[in-house]
Amino acid sequence: MIELRPYQKQAINACYEYMRKSTGNGCLVLPTGSGKSVVLAQICSDAVSLWDGRVLVLAHVQELIEQNAGKIKHFLGDNFVGIYSTGLKQKDMHQPVIAASIQSIYKKAFEFEPFDLIIIDEAHLIATSGEGMYLSFLRDAKIVNPNIRIIGTTATPYRTGTGMICGPDNILNEICYEIGIKELIRDGFLCPLRSKASKIKVDTNGLHIRGGEFICNELEELMDTDTRVEAACSEIFEYTYDRHAVLIFAAGVDHGKHIQRIFQEQHNIDCGFVSGDSPDGWRKKMIDDFRSGKLKYLCNVNVLTTGFDAPNIDCIAMLRPTMSPGLYYQMTGRGFRLHESKNDCLVLDFGGNILRHGPVDCLRVTDKIAKGNGDAPAKECPGCCEIIHAAYSRCPACGYEFPPPEKTKHETTASTEGILSDQASVNEYAVEEVLYNVHTKKGVKTESPRTMRVQYKIGFASYISEWICFEHTGFARHKAEIWWSQRSNEPAPEQSDLAVFFAENGRLREPIKIIVKHIPGQKFDRIVGYKFDDPEANNWQCDQQEPQYFPVDDEIPF
């Protein structure tokens, strides 16, 4: 049996709690490489073994269908899991769990025995309006069983041009659990990324946009020139001499074949190539050789994003610009998985995507995808091409000193970070939600004091945490009492679980903003100030329109 990670257990429990309390359909947001298939498999196992239910798991690519079916079999056994996919040449229909291709099943809801639960993997592919395969199938499935429940899983709960996939009138109504990339990297569950920009810049201002993305033929024409391809291949070769598995994203089929040819002709290097037109057997061979280490370079066009799992990838080369934050995330996300052969994953950006979209571990997405106005969230070092946080005055990679910024009429503070953030900075964040849970430090004895972990949601899939030490003594307990007094007129509890109970039942005042300090080399960001909207907080006199900051010590006392 697979041992679930703590956040995977939290995701499953949050999903069940949502289904108990709400008639809506929830969405689990888990980053690429965090083990969505394990969470999905545990839910399937519970539905069958605990509640005698029937489950359909939908996906859109063969790799995901096979991956999901394999994980579920680890939990339930082979006899309980079937596959319905024309491409995989299997059409099982009667097992308790069916992993199916939406393309194969979307007109066949009435041919199956009723399902109690449908899980949609990569749920961001569900259209929020109009017709589509998912909407068509789900409409028929609800006729077969009006009480059917639906769960979505995704790393990117938004669609280019239409924004968030969850809403009261959509198939998925609410995000019931999400956890951020930054937190999982910090805790050692995902691989860190670092980034370099191309020495040759690409100007996309002349490209037209359709449906929130660059028009394909214009994009490929821009990128597929001898000068750009030869320069890009030379840079990739230069940067990856000590890398083991380099995944390249091209702008089109001709562009991808051009990249493959230049590697072979000018660098005497084998570079695989796959696209949607590649025969299944050829694609499988290329992927198997790439995963095994026989093939170091693999170029693709729109096929090795969602559902592609190669943990050994230690370099991503984006030779295509994109306006889609989802595609940008999916490309870079191929490098998040941990592997014994790598310490980090290098992202080579030849399309200006990092400067366009900002940090992949802190994407900010509103109801409508932003147009990209405002200051760039990151900047490129002219000395070494490292892409870093906009607030850096010195490049951490080569030591280049940036000139001081010109004075402007209004001072501004960078609100996002580089491809991954690791520099000293102090930022102010609006708090969207506060979560509480009891935390036990890893590796300690069971009788050791616990803490209350408080997570402040500051954006999509982005949290800042602090630990409140009610069960400790001395200075740690004193700090916990001060923290509690800011939020409640009642005495501070002695136990962390009681504190969580009070917090989750609305007994605490919550800040509307926090000030966060990030220090290079330190494991955790530190909350150094709170901003309350309640003038009565801690008997503190302040103007309701301009609430004051309450400073805190920035040391974690354990």
Do 481 and 412 share a domain, yes or no? no
Q: 348 or 1: which carries more pLDDT confidence?
A: 348
- Work out the average pLDDT over 263-269: 95
Residue 557 in domain: no
Residue 556 in domain: no
Q: Where a domain ends, among 139, 157, 179? A: 179
Residue 410 in domain: yes
* Confidence label for 459 from pLDDT (cuts 50, 70 and 90): confident
**How high is the pLDDT of residue 62?**
83
H/E element holding 237?
A: helix 226-239
Do 63 and 116 share a domain, yes or no? yes
Residue 91 in domain: yes
Do 205 and 330 share a domain, yes or no? yes
Whether 387 has a pLDDT exceeding 80, the answer reads no
Q: Where a domain ends, among 114, 149, 179? A: 179
Of all residues in the chain, what percent carry a pLDDT higher than 70? 80
Of all residues in the chain, what percent carry a pLDDT higher than 90? 43
* Confidence label for 190 from pLDDT (cuts 50, 70 and 90): very high
Residue ranges of alpha helices (H) inside 334-384 are 353-357
Whether 78 has a pLDDT exceeding 60, the answer reads yes
pTM of structure? 0.66
* Confidence label for 226 from pLDDT (cuts 50, 70 and 90): very high
In CATH, what number is assigned to the domain containing residue 349? 3.40.50.300
Whether 448 has a pLDDT exceeding 60, the answer reads yes
Do 11 and 136 share a domain, yes or no? yes
**Maximum average pLDDT range among 169-173, 238-242, 473-477, 536-540:** 238-242
**How high is the pLDDT of residue 195?**
84
**Which stretch of 56-70, 114-128, 270-284, 401-415 has the lowest confidence by average pLDDT?**
401-415
Residue 383 in domain: yes
Do 175 and 205 share a domain, yes or no? no
Assess contact for 68 and 57: CB atoms under 8 A: yes
Residue 247 in domain: yes
Torsion 423-425-428-431 (CA) sign: positive
Q: 447 or 479: which carries more pLDDT confidence?
A: 479
**How high is the pLDDT of residue 339?**
92
Whether 522 has a pLDDT exceeding 60, the answer reads no
What digits encode the pLDDT tens for the residues 524-545?
678 888 888 865 544 433 433 4
Do 99 and 244 share a domain, yes or no? no
- Work out the average pLDDT over 350-355: 87
Do 230 and 374 share a domain, yes or no? yes
CA atoms within 13 A on the CB side of 501: 7
Q: How many domains, the chain? A: 3
Whether 44 has a pLDDT exceeding 50, the answer reads yes
What strands lie across the sheet with 513-518, from one edge to the other? 425-430, 513-518, 526-531, 549-551
**Mean pLDDT over the full length of the chain:** 82
**Cα distance between the two ends of the chain:** 33
Do 161 and 203 share a domain, yes or no? no
**How high is the pLDDT of residue 221?**
94
CA atoms within 13 A on the CB side of 320: 32
Residue 186 in domain: no
Do 28 and 148 share a domain, yes or no? yes
**How high is the pLDDT of residue 418?**
44
What digits encode the pLDDT tens for the residues 399-422?
666 665 544 333 333 223 345 544
- Work out the average pLDDT over 255-268: 96
Do 276 and 404 share a domain, yes or no? yes
Whether 475 has a pLDDT exceeding 70, the answer reads yes
The closest of 193, 162, 211, 210 to 318, measured between CA atoms, is 193
Alpha-carbon span 302 to 310, nearest angstrom: 16
Alpha-carbon span 402 to 406, nearest angstrom: 12
Residue 373 in domain: yes
H/E element holding 36?
A: helix 36-49
**How high is the pLDDT of residue 539?**
41
Query: CB within 8 A of 197, min separation 6: which ones?
Result: 349, 350, 352, 354, 355, 380, 385, 386, 387
Q: Tell me the three-class secondary structure of 480-513, residue by residue.
A: HHHHHHCCCCCCCCCCHHHHHHHHHCCCCCCCCE
Do 351 and 412 share a domain, yes or no? yes
Identity of the amino acid at 83 = I
What digits encode the pLDDT tens for the residues 231-247?
999 999 999 999 999 99
Do 385 and 495 share a domain, yes or no? no
**How high is the pLDDT of residue 460?**
65
Assess contact for 136 and 58: CB atoms under 8 A: no
**How high is the pLDDT of residue 437?**
87
Q: Where a domain ends, among 123, 153, 179? A: 179
**How high is the pLDDT of residue 395?**
62
**Which stretch of 88-102, 123-137, 182-196 has the lowest confidence by average pLDDT?**
123-137
Residue 544's domain spans which residues? 427-551
What digits encode the pLDDT tens for the residues 193-205?
888 777 777 889 8
**Which stretch of 220-224, 324-328, 507-511 has the lowest confidence by average pLDDT?**
324-328
**How high is the pLDDT of residue 1?**
67
**How high is the pLDDT of residue 182?**
82
**Which stretch of 162-171, 226-235, 533-542 has the lowest confidence by average pLDDT?**
533-542
